Amino acid sequence: MRTGVVAKKVGMTRVFAADGSHVPVTVLSLEGCQVVGVRTNKEREADVKKRGEVVGQVKRNDGYTAVVLAAGERKAKNVSQPLRGQFAKANVEPKAVVREFRVTEDHLIEVGAEISAEHFIPGQKVDIAGLSKGRGFQGAMRRWNFGGMRATHGVSITHRAHGSTGQRQDPGKVFKGKKMAGHWGVERTTTQNLEIVRTDAERGLILVRGSVPGPQNGWVEIRDAVKAKPVTGAPTAAVLRAKGEQG
């Protein structure tokens, strides 16, 4: 199981295929996606601190294997103290977002490495997760696609109402999860089996067919699709940029 990447949603455009047809794509940018930590099953020596001073050491084990990635840029004064320490330990500049990806032990990556857009190849299927656009308070017709009430025959004022919400004295309440008017959006959403159309390693761009969750300039997570067969030719480990090429 390979690691995913953290990318910024730049916007949508279109590209032309070999037969002249246009393909709508979403442009995702890798804004300096670097490894800032790893989680392993191996025991390691960890410092025990009390009031900021090291008073001893103890053996610790994460219990799972994962890669911690960070992307974007952020001023150090706007980063919390724990994250500042994590970035300093990894010897990387402060980042805007931090995400963790579960991987198998043979796909762990060294801390400080930067992932290239060539981690994915054209034709590959991926799953993309992000926070959906916030739409505020919405009625039941827009939020849940309700049909509304009748346009005549005694209905007045409540044409777009969602109707009855409960039962009688028993159970005498509205069940949790009832579809009603309320806040819509700003929820973690995953779109599966999106196709990689093109990659640009030099500019760090990934072009994905169709739309992906989230607003423009929002952060998304790109992973190998769990419901698609692994594509042949995909790198078994992350494609990394040499440290001399970073920046």
- pTM over the 0.75 mark: yes
Distance between CA atoms of residues 155 and 163, nearest Å: 11
Report pLDDT digits (tens) over 10-27. 999 999 988 889 999 999
What distances in angstroms separate CA 2 from CA 31, 100, 127, one per listed residue?
20, 12, 13
- C-beta separation of 36 from 95 below 8 A: yes
> What are the angstrom distances between the C-alpha of 108 and each of 40, 59, 98, 246?
9, 21, 17, 20
- Whether 167 maps to a domain, the answer reads no
**Inside any domain, residue 118:** yes
Residue 143 inside a domain? The answer is no
Cα 126 versus chain centre, distance? 12
> Tell me, what CATH number does 77's domain have?
2.40.30.10
φ, ψ of residue 173 to 5 degrees: the values are -160, 170
Residue 149 lies in a domain: no
Looking at per-residue confidence, does 157 or 60 come out higher? 157
User: Count of domains in the chain?
Assistant: 1
Ramachandran region of residue 207, left (φ > 0), alpha (ψ -120 to 50) or beta?
A: beta
User: What residues make up the domain containing 102?
Assistant: 5-43+59-134+183-245
Structure tokens at 159: 């044409």
What tokens appear for 171 in the block?
């159970």
172-202 confidence digits (pLDDT tens): 899 999 999 999 999 999 999 999 999 988 8
**Average pLDDT score over residue span 133-160:** 93
Quick check: is 207 in a domain? yes
Looking at the chain, the whole-number percentage of residues with pLDDT higher than 70 is 89
Residue keyed to tokens 């799972």: 64
**Torsion of Cα atoms, 148 then 152 then 157 then 163, to 10°:** -40
95 Cβ contact partners less than 8 Å away, ≥ 6 residues apart: 32, 34, 36, 70, 71, 72, 73, 74, 87
- Nearest Cα neighbor of 26 from 35, 34, 37, 15 is 15
Residue 217 in domain: yes
Does any domain span residue 24? yes
9 falls within a domain: yes
